[in-house]
Structure 1
Amino acid sequence: MSGGQRGFWDVQERLRELSAQGDPLEKLAATVDFEMFRADLDAAFGPRDRAKGGRPCFDPVLKFRMLVLQAMHGLSLAQTEYLVADRLSWMRFCRLGPGDAVPDANTLWDFREALIAAGALDALFARLDRAITEAGYLPMAGQIVDATLVAAPRQRNTEAEKARIKAGEKATDIWSDKPAKARQKDTDARWTVKFSKAKPTAEGKPQVDIAVPAFGYKSHISIDRQHGVIRRGKTTDAAAHDGARLREGLIDPNNTAADVWADTAYRSAENERYLAGIGKVSRIHRRKPPGRPMPRRTAQANAAKSAVRARVEHPFAHQKGVMGLVIRTIGIARARATVTLANMAYNMKRWCWLDRRGLPA
């Protein structure tokens, strides 16, 4: 009753109502057993010296659950702390009660920094991928490779500062007399130009490519065609060329089919030799011959490839739309952690969707 005395079972009753309405986090927790990450998390931090005393540490699995929530909703660490303390469904997902302490933003920051320093995120990603495979969703029917830009806070630097950044100097060297400023300067992110086609004019004039400047990083992924799960990932600065990343671990050797789809950015003699050398079949789009119209047969083949390749756009659209993926941190190491956590969060949601749909494994 509004304004009345709070009952002893009010919280449980509200949680039952949330379950009846289909709480997505409850379904996620039922699908993904977060305890499977405990061994990798414990290995990253090592045994705690209890002789030093002090307050007991928060459970690492609890903090990892909170990082997953952050990645799923594009939040800051402070927002994540607040919402876990505020929302009953988020509390339940984190295995907390209304009276339990919630790790604060600084604790989550230190936890994420420790994961980065230990190189544990790749192991956690691989563990999730094994769990999805063991659930019956084998990587099969080929794989699709693509990349997308991920925005980062734009930098305002002078021409001299830009030249020093391009020369490989660190922020602490460039702004040695201003340490506070140096901490806010990202010398790993890069500017690049993304070309997009404008809409045709009312007069029927042809479309013209428009150059759109972008600053930040680039997420490179490979998904399996059958289930749409991200199997491999890599993070670079925004200026890195897509095609060269194909030979840097993006191809999943466990995929049972040999076909590899990608757009024209990945078409090169080196990539064709590489794919042939590892027993893969190239389904990469072919470019239009310079100064000549594209042969009809090539255009038809590209159209058939596009029908398959377009599936890789779904993870990017979901991450940048629903999940609000952006880079809020400074440096390539933290950007890589953000993208890896976003890839893991997407795979968890995809796993839930596959189970709900009852797709054949």
Structure 2
Amino acid sequence: MLRSTTAWSASWDGLPQELLRLPVELAQVDGLLDDARFVEPFRPYFDSSRGRPSTPIDTYLRLMFLKFRYGLGYESLCREVADSISWRRFCHLGLCERVPHPTTLMKITTRCGDAAVVRLNEALLDKAVEGKVLRVGKVRADTTVVSANVEHPTDSGLLAKA
């Protein structure tokens, strides 16, 4: 069963503000990933009413960002997120919540495959164009082909040159 968002935990309420502040890069990415269009590529792969609840997709996306941004494996990613308050907060995990198991992340990645990544990249591109981060235009490619005689080397020709 698809869970698109995490129910925000009240376990963060008693902590000082210095611990709750995300690093600048993670805060920017967190704001970007709050858009609901990034959950849509994953909907076809999960039943909305049957089955066990999945790892929330917003948590999965943030975990995958950390994995690829810092070049971590699944096991080391889960260890690092479990140990870091700022990474837990970025991934929308409470202090007492368990970090998803590495095999769970691997199974979601395998289940959704390349098609979900392509649709996710398209959603990201649309968001970047809307925010005027990127300017897209038409590309013109010249595909003119000119034939040319190609002279392949032969054994006797190579011997003569030597």
**TM-score, length of structure 1 as denominator length:** 0.33
Partners of 1:20 and 1:48 in 2: CA distance: 34
CA RMSD of aligned residues (A): 2.8
TM-aligned CA distance change 1:67 to 1:276, over 3 Å: same
User: What residue in structure 2 maps to residue 17 of structure 1?
Assistant: 18
Structural mapping, 1:209-224, within 5 Å:
none
What is the total number of aligned residue pairs between the two structures? 134
Question: What's the CA shift for 1:119?
Answer: 1.7
Distance in 2 (CA, whole Å) between partners of 1:82 and 1:34 is 27
Runs of 5+ consecutive residues of structure 2 not aligned to the other structure? 1-10, 145-162
Contact persistence 1:23–1:89 (CA under 8 A): no
Cα deviations by residue, 1:280-338 (Å, 9 ceiling, x for unpaired): xxxxxxxxxxxxxxxxxxxxxxxxxxxxxxxxxxxxxxxxxxxxxxxxxxxxxxxxxxx
Q: Are residue 119 (structure 1) and residue 120 (structure 2) matched?
A: no
Please report how far the alpha carbon of residue 100 of structure 1 lies from its aligned counterpart in structure 2 after TM superposition.
1.3
Match of 1:57 in 2: 54
Give the counterpart letter for 2:94 in structure 1: G
Deviations 1:196-231 (A, max 9, x none): xxxxxxxxxxxxxxxxxxxxxxxxxxxxxxxxxxxx
C-alpha distance 111-18 of structure 1, shift in aligned 2 (>3 A) = same
Where does residue 104 of structure 1 map in the other structure?
Answer: 101
- Report the residue type matching 2:67 in the other structure: Q
Residue 33 of structure 1 corresponds to 34
- Which residue of the partner structure matches residue 177 of structure 1? none
Residues 1:98 and 1:255: Cα distance change in structure 2 (over 3 Å): same
Tell me which protein shows more helix as a share of its residues.
Answer: 2
Give the match for residue 130 of structure 1.
Answer: 126
Report which structure shows greater RCO (CA 8 Å, sep ≥6).
2
Task: Give the conservation status (yes or no) of the 8 Å contact 2:59–2:92.
Answer: yes
What SS does the corresponding residue of 1:75 show, helix, strand or coil? coil
For 2:86 and 2:97, locate their aligned partners in 1 and report how far apart those are by CA, in whole Å.
14
Q: As a proportion of its length, which structure holds more strand?
A: 1
Partner of 1:292: none
Question: What CA distance in whole angstroms lies between the structure 1 residues aligned with 2:39 and 2:21?
Answer: 30
> Could you say which residue in structure 2 is the equivalent of 1:356?
none
Question: Identity percentage over the alignment?
Answer: 25
Per-residue deviation, 1:122:
0.7
